[in-house]
Structure 1
């Protein structure tokens, strides 16, 4: 069973091992001791703060209870671009027309933008390949929506998620090679790592005027707005929750940005708060798995299970699941269907 919980100081070794397996292009978590320390410090500070932090970084880990080790991470950045600039390219269309010459052409352009400054970002989603089974991936991603639903005052009303863009098996990005390298003279992996610590150089070196994409190499044009194959499941999952491509892309690999209003996210909209009944006397079962959390902040816990049931507006749990969630008889739990509306079907 996986339990989703906040990062702690004791997770340094586990987080380091996860970071070694993320690969090029996974900007938010790389095999860098300085980055690991920053993630832990920022994550702990966000959960421990009694008041909302404008740019709070809520970092969760997925712990395999049987193996007693970390197998994944996910995070919520409460507000992006508030301490470091947050850049993206806006995809637009420019029309060139002349009646006299009978010419009419549409050209796609890329414009450097800070439009999403202050928005909440879903980020740092990673699950070890061997743990990508059952509904682990769905739990890891959607557990954040349980947390957001219970703490909406800590987040912006607009929620975004940057999808990893296409790169080849050697870690090279066609988009970066066709555009970014002309202004930075750095390979993709190096530029990606530098962006973790200092984004100012982006504003200093990137062109301020719109870029006509038809002037880029064909392989660079073809990957604009495309998602890395390894990230496609994560994109489909977010789209099932109500996220949509908003015509913004990453400035390094041109990966697409998805966007939703927090109140429109399915797992936020459909979650309920129910009173816990601990019952080991009957077989508890839901045909569709339920996503459960204890509704707390610093001691947040979430899991997904079929071995729980909603009866007469109460949540029935066995003692093991209740203990895992740090819940007891009479407590209030946050509940949402993991896939379709399992709650409505009860």
Structure 2
């Protein structure tokens, strides 16, 4: 196969690339638009600079198996503006445990009262230790049209396909949870009393300092959801309204919800086998001067280069050998 004839790299097209140190101001401006609650894009200059450095170091490392790497991608417009971000973690649980709540169901039966009662229970688990994670998907409000969200989201899977040995056999995505009036009803009912802080403050601490404080303070016993306020129960597995488009994109790639949720805001955690992710499965190498992949579908992507030279474009047309 050769590079598809319809692909013109010189065209003035938006594309996705790894972050660079000179993107810091642009990332800080994007972070100010998120409204908080995005661990991978905190509105803190020092933390963002550390994430950029971590991404650059991860790209430069000679990787045999995934350890604790982080890759931050940005969407760049044809005129050079940074319009969005997306991120990947190579292996969860490498530095500290990755915590989730797993929703299960229990039924109690009393023969004396001739009564049964069924309710859901939340268990604190580390089931995704060793998995990879995609996240940090954020687009500038002015860029949420024309397929740019799909380009940014799918660029992560093209990155995985181009660097397969850098990732595990399972990939998860931890979506932002439901909020009401700027606060998380789940956080207020479950975790807030243990941490003595608001949701956004705790989430920012997690982004800046890691989650050891979760292990130190988080309640470890199962939580009966029937004992929670209705607003907190309703938030379990419910995505933030701004995350619904991201969830649909994930589902289109084959990610499924199997009862796992975020411990802060109870947003849904979805998962997929890495090699069964649609874009990964449909990508194929083609002949070119640079290492090149093409996603073989109705909305094809072209990825060229590896590590810091990695780029992804979405172009109109049908894939065919040139």
Using structure 2 for the length normalisation, give the TM-score.
0.90
1:55 matched to 2:68? The reply is: yes
1:302 aligned residue (305, 312, 315): 312
Q: How many Å apart are 1:134 and its aligned residue?
A: 0.8
Structure label with greater radius of gyration: 1
Q: Encode CA deviations 1:281-319: one digit per residue, 9 max, x unaligned.
A: xxxxx9943210114222001010115x533xx2x4xxx
Higher relative contact order (CA 8 A, sep 6+): 2
Task: Give the unaligned 5+ runs of structure 2.
Answer: 1-12, 290-295
| Paired residues for 1:59-98 under 5 Å | 59-66=72-79, 68-98=80-110
1:165 aligned residue (166, 170, 177): 177
Q: Distance in 2 between matches of 1:63 and 1:120?
A: 25
Kindly indicate whether the alpha-carbon contact (under 8 Å) linking 1:24 and 1:171 is maintained by their aligned counterparts in 2.
no
Q: Which moved more, 1:56-65 or 1:93-102?
A: 93-102
Q: Could you list the runs of 4 or more consecutive aligned residues of structure 1 that deviate by over 6 angstroms after TM superposition? A: none
1:129 matched to 2:141? The reply is: yes
Q: Distance in 2 between matches of 1:225 and 1:71?
A: 28
Q: Distance in 1 between matches of 2:21 and 2:196?
A: 38
Name the residue aligned to 1:251.
263
Q: How many residues align?
A: 302
Name the residue aligned to 2:4.
none
Q: Distance in 2 between matches of 1:83 and 1:75?
A: 18
1:271 matched to 2:283? The reply is: yes
Per the alignment, in what secondary structure is the counterpart of residue 105 of structure 1?
Answer: strand
Kindly indicate whether the alpha-carbon contact (under 8 Å) linking 1:23 and 1:30 is maintained by their aligned counterparts in 2.
no
Kindly indicate whether the alpha-carbon contact (under 8 Å) linking 1:122 and 1:160 is maintained by their aligned counterparts in 2.
yes
Q: Which moved more, 1:79-88 or 1:54-63?
A: 79-88
Q: Which moved more, 1:89-98 or 1:228-237?
A: 89-98
Q: How many Å apart are 1:276 and its aligned residue?
A: 4.5
Q: Which moved more, 1:235-244 or 1:8-17?
A: 8-17
Using structure 1 for the length normalisation, give the TM-score.
0.83
Aligned CA-pair RMSD: 1.7
1:293 aligned residue (285, 303, 313): 303
Per the alignment, in what secondary structure is the counterpart of residue 122 of structure 1?
Answer: strand
Q: How many Å apart are 1:122 and its aligned residue?
A: 0.4
Kindly indicate whether the alpha-carbon contact (under 8 Å) linking 2:75 and 2:82 is maintained by their aligned counterparts in 1.
yes
Using a 3 Å threshold, how does the CA distance of structure 1 residues 310 and 108 change in structure 2: closer, same or farther?
closer
Kindly indicate whether the alpha-carbon contact (under 8 Å) linking 1:107 and 1:213 is maintained by their aligned counterparts in 2.
yes
Using a 3 Å threshold, how does the CA distance of structure 1 residues 224 and 298 change in structure 2: closer, same or farther?
same
Kindly indicate whether the alpha-carbon contact (under 8 Å) linking 2:40 and 2:87 is maintained by their aligned counterparts in 1.
no
2:192 aligned residue (153, 171, 181): 181
Name the residue aligned to 2:126.
114
Q: Distance in 2 between matches of 1:102 and 1:18?
A: 58
Q: Distance in 1 between matches of 2:108 and 2:299?
A: 53
